[in-house]
Structure 1
């Protein structure tokens, strides 16, 4: 058991364990002394000895974030986005906390502060980064932390499910409006998105060499979930791609030579011309996956095409048309 006593106006905590060197430290309050003693005892129980925690008193969360950004983030596929989020985290007060003083209450306060200005999904991503930084610091960098305090904090609930699908003649209006734009392949791009349910990044990264004309299949070597997959093409999608290939520049290896930002701008201009509102480009993925179910494919078949690894995530996209289901029930 730790000994807590008041000495010369300050509170001193002393931890003694058989076979380990006694450790003591002074604090301004009794609560701080008790907290330090509990954490040190937990570390002794975990490691079998009292680690030198002086490094925790001088190391800030900002320093760990910077090291993580330099050593770990560049190895990830989403490194650009993660580095941007780390730079945001380093501007908050929590980044100046030392690892000795970092507590679950600090993480909770940070969470509540962020929820006042950003969406829950953004807050969850930032908490995930903080949690992994601490995990790497403990497991790979040998930082003598007794626990990952981020894991002790409740994560915000994300409710961003969308049920928006193409309604009435919206699809035809969008396709017709493509002729009024300056992007010659935009109509083909929309057809591929609707027919395959592929993600925006997968579509924009598509190369002519990824398309097997004999098999009528697109081969994606690397996707968002870290693995590749094959996407079968409907006759409609294959015909649209073939027609565009006949008109495209033979020296261009990419099917759709467009940046994500340019696609977003072109999409909003297209919505205005087609007089369609409340539709996001990502909703075309919802539409495509839902149509696969409506064509009679089962969950395993749809997941192999869409790339979803979890049924929970797949259900968010599969908003089936009730009238179609009634017809199939008989």
Structure 2
């Protein structure tokens, strides 16, 4: 059973008096009638009508869930009822009303609660994006920025915490629309606005999150729409692939700088160990001034002593070699634990990688020696936080005089060096690098070309081209000088080319013989010699 109810607003109007016109919600019919009565008392002739821009459709049928949705016109309501009833009869019915009753912002909240935490990149990317959109949709960050600006203008200092490092997103009003009404143009408008304030790669990652939300909503939560709004979205084009290679001498300078970083770190660790007694004594001093003074004096003495008796730990040096020799990613190396290291087998097991698959790293002999020399005071092989590594890397590059070198460039350098040896196929390089798709390795294919040419020479060394052993002289092909070929060898190689004229000789004609005094490359023909002698006699 289907019912269609007009839920449009009421309008009270007076002819030629537009200033007296008023609109009332569907639920406030009594207020509209009261306003009409007031106008009549004032001597006007008001007219009360109901618009036709909102119709509530209710469909109740046994064996199906009740349907309730709002459309913009009576014709659209009747068409929807007819379509739903026809689809139910044929068994092709899809409930499109759910997508009309939930906003895109509601989908973001549900995704953040149910789906997002299941993903490996949730804590670092997706959570930040989802919370940012909801915060910007409410205008919270923009309000905090305005408040901070007013505080700086008034007192010269901002008191309100900004609580974010991002630029507020604009053009996201469409997220308040029902999911069924979100269009591709809405998302593309957001892309255009966002490109004015952030890099195209950042926008592309945000589109990835929006796409994931739409796909889950349609495929898992069954919010059916006529067309997924992500279909047809044109992503920003950009190229951020890095091909930074270490130049001549840079790797050694990098290692030398890492050794110096290890020296300073080892001295500081030794100094802090020597400071234990001084800190205990400082805690007994009555004033903060005395405590700080004691600690500063003791720290200077402990550092001077630490420079004499510190134990050098090659942590950053080993890490730099590890990144280059194994082509591991930063997170893979920092999360490597000693229980996954087998120095005897020269392997490191990675239970979780970027593509979600475990793999093993092969260790070169010199790297095994460096790892074996590291202390095992922590469960991790490289007990360094990401923030500490970033700061140390900046100091190492500055000390080495190297510009524009990222940590991830060491991975690219390691794969490139392996490719340049020519000893590995692309499949071998894929196992070495851990790429899930061999197409990601095509950027290294050109490094294998020179070695491939030499391998082709070796493979076809026994087969000489015709142009390598012969040459064309005055229209005839001749054997090149220096080939070391005798006529006997030539005739043995192509006997059919030397026999046709001999086959026409008479049976009584003696066969050609070779004079013992002549070399192997001279064949004597007695019959022709005799003929030549007679001609010479005449």
TM-score between the two structures when normalised by the length of structure 2: 0.52
Q: Which residue of 1 aligns with 2:71?
A: 25
| TM superposition shift of 1:328 | 7.2
Instruction: Answer yes or no: is the 8 Å Cα contact 1:177–1:274 preserved in 2.
Output: yes
Matched, 1:65 2:145: no
Per the alignment, do residues 323 and 297 of structure 1 end up closer, same or farther by CA in structure 2, a change over 3 Å counting?
closer
Distance 1:131 1:326 in 2: 45
Q: Secondary structure at the match of 2:230?
A: helix
Paired residue for 2:413, among 282, 287, 293? 287
Moved beyond 4 Å, runs of 4+: 8-15, 19-24, 44-47, 321-330
Two-structure CA RMSD over aligned residues (Å): 3.4
Q: 2:416 aligns to what SS in structure 1?
A: helix
Say which is worse superposed, 162-171 or 145-154, in terms of deviation. 145-154
Q: Which residue of 2 aligns with 1:5?
A: none
- Matched positions, count: 308
Displacement of 1:302 in angstroms is 1.0
How much does 1:319 deviate? 6.7
| Separation in 2, partners of 1:328, 1:275 | 39
- 1:214-293 matches, cutoff 5 A: 214-243=344-373, 245=374, 248=375, 250-293=376-419
- Match of 1:125, SS state, is helix
- Alignment partner of 1:305 is 2:351: no
Residue in structure 1 matched with residue 203 of structure 2 by the alignment: 123
Bigger relative CO (Cα 8 Å, ≥ 6 apart): 1
**How far apart, CA to CA, are the structure 1 residues paired with 2:439 and 2:91?**
38
Question: Which structure 1 residue ranges, 5 or more long, are not aligned?
Answer: 1-7
Deviates more, 1:303-312 or 1:175-184: 175-184
Aligned ranges 1:98-177 → 2 under 5 Å: 98-177=178-257
**Is residue 2:124 matched to residue 1:78?**
no
Shift of 1:315: 2.6
Distance 1:165 1:149 in 2: 41
Please give the alpha-carbon distance, in whole angstroms, between the structure 2 residues aligned to 1:323 and 1:138.
50
Q: Which residue of 1 aligns with 2:341?
A: 211
1:153-179 CA distance string (max 9 Å, x none): 112223111111100100000110113
How far residue 269 of structure 1 moved from its aligned partner, in angstroms, is 1.0
Structure 2: distance between partners of 1:199 and 1:278:
18
Tell me the SS of whatever aligns to 1:118: coil
Post-superposition Cα deviations, 1:114-144, rounded to whole Å, max 9, x if no partner, equal: 2222222222221121112112112222223
Report the Cα distance in structure 1 between the residues aligned to 2:405 and 2:175, rounded to whole angstroms: 38
User: Which consecutive unaligned segments of at least 5 residues does structure 2 have?
Assistant: 1-49, 137-168, 266-313, 458-538
Q: Is 1:314 the counterpart of 2:441 in the alignment?
A: yes
Segment of structure 1 superposing worse, 177-186 or 228-237:
177-186
Which protein is bigger by CA-based radius of gyration?
A: 2
Name which of 87, 91, 103 aligns with 2:131. 87
